[in-house]
Amino acid sequence: MASANELLRDALILQAVLLQHLQRGHLNRLDALFTTQARQVIRGAFGVGDLAGQTFPAGTGAQVIAEIMGRYGALIGQAKLDMITAAQEAAAAEVAWWNAGAGLPDELVALLPWESVDTSILAGIGELETLGLTPAEWATKTAGDFMRQGNLQLQQAAGLGETMAAAAARIVSLNEKLGRVGAERMARTVFSGATGRVGNEWKRRNADMVSGWVWLATLDDRTCQVCGARDGTRWKTTAGPDIPAHARCRCVREPILKSWRQLGVDIDEIPPDWRSSMDGIKADPINYDGWLRGTSKANQISALGKARWDVWNSMGRPPMRRFVDGDRILSLEDLIGGG
């Protein structure tokens, strides 16, 4: 039978999909907040129709900028509340999942010394810092980026003497560019922090079942080189770098469970080690390096960028740890020896 660890890995992959659905709900709400609502804000502030053909700074420029920035500011309160709710929902879903046996068959969980996570952990999740920011601070930061960029765009429109319609179009396109990206960055980071906190607590409580953890990166072209280099690395239960490693990080800590016999269950195990990747299920043990070498050239270039791909290829396709120094992705100059 598969090892306890393999069963848990399968279950973690399914859980990640379920969490993504939950996360998408928040992402869509935030996106709507910054994109759709912001568009209405602009329509209101620019007074589409009468003013559209007028030159933007004609008397009303500073006033319109102040108006737009004021309305954006009002959205921050909603975004903060939604991020706190997102962290709480993600953590609650994760607690419920671990406490129901993490998707493992009930009859197996009954044989194991499985300890539940105390729901009191949920009380502090709304204030939990991820990469140094609480959920509310992530919302403030994202909205702040928006407002800075928006202000800049409007100052430019004023400086160039554009029409009101052209200035409005700048803001709409900024929303389209930053809305989804900003929403995704904060939703994913806050989710990762909240679920990671619960997972760590489960590992702490189940230390006699867990021998350590393995860094699991997503095997696709969006994974960064720092996370790619760490994929598959193993750590003691309380050691190792934090996840998320950066904003929008999709990595997870996979607990390494002891063997069935070490866990006190008298069954044999065969290790059908596989990983799910953007190229479909892989039959052999694989990590990011193996995935990258085996995927199409187009995926490789999409993952690394063309210049970096050239260097990687000319170096004989070495493991990603050659391309990073801790949290830092080495520059091309670093890689080709200061040339």
Please, which residues have CB within 8 angstroms of residue 166's CB and are 6 or more apart in sequence? 56, 157
Name which of 200 and 206 has its Cβ closer to Zn ion.
Answer: 200
Helices (H), 206-270: 225-230
Please tell me whether residue 247 binds Zn ion under the rule CB under 5 A: no
Shortest distance (Å) from residue 188 CB to Zn ion: 10
Shortest distance (Å) from residue 223 CB to Zn ion: 7
Shortest distance (Å) from residue 285 CB to Zn ion: 20
Of 12, 183, 198, 251, which lies in the binding site for Zn ion, with binding defined by CB under 5 A?
251
Pairing status of strand 252-257 against strand 210-216: antiparallel
Please tell me whether residue 164 binds Zn ion under the rule CB under 5 A: no
Shortest distance (Å) from residue 219 CB to Zn ion: 12
Name which of 249 and 303 has its Cβ closer to Zn ion.
Answer: 249
Please, which residues have CB within 8 angstroms of residue 18's CB and are 6 or more apart in sequence? 93
Asked if 203 and 213 touch (Cβ cutoff 8 Å), the reply is yes
Instruction: Residue 21: name the closest of 101, 105, 95, 86 by CA.
Output: 86
* Rounded Cα–Cα distance for residues 219 and 289 (Å): 9
Which region among 17-25, 37-45, 248-256, 263-271 touches Zn ion (by CB under 5 A)?
Answer: 248-256
Name which of 117 and 227 has its Cβ closer to Zn ion.
Answer: 227
Name which of 170 and 230 has its Cβ closer to Zn ion.
Answer: 230
Shortest distance (Å) from residue 203 CB to Zn ion: 18
Total residues in contact with Zn ion, by rule CB under 5 A: 4
Please tell me whether residue 249 binds Zn ion under the rule CB under 5 A: yes
* Rounded Cα–Cα distance for residues 130 and 83 (Å): 12
End-to-end CA distance of the chain: 53
* Rounded Cα–Cα distance for residues 108 and 39 (Å): 53
Of 245, 263, 292, 304, which lies in the binding site for Zn ion, with binding defined by CB under 5 A?
245
Name which of 148 and 328 has its Cβ closer to Zn ion.
Answer: 328
Please tell me whether residue 227 binds Zn ion under the rule CB under 5 A: yes
* Rounded Cα–Cα distance for residues 320 and 217 (Å): 12
Please tell me whether residue 214 binds Zn ion under the rule CB under 5 A: no
Shortest distance (Å) from residue 231 CB to Zn ion: 9
Name which of 55 and 218 has its Cβ closer to Zn ion.
Answer: 218
C-beta atoms surrounding 130 within 10 Å: 24
Which region among 152-160, 173-181, 224-232, 272-280 touches Zn ion (by CB under 5 A)?
Answer: 224-232
* Rounded Cα–Cα distance for residues 254 and 212 (Å): 9
Which residue(s) pair with 215 in the sheet? Answer: 253
- Sites of contact with Zn ion (CB under 5 A): 227, 245, 249, 251
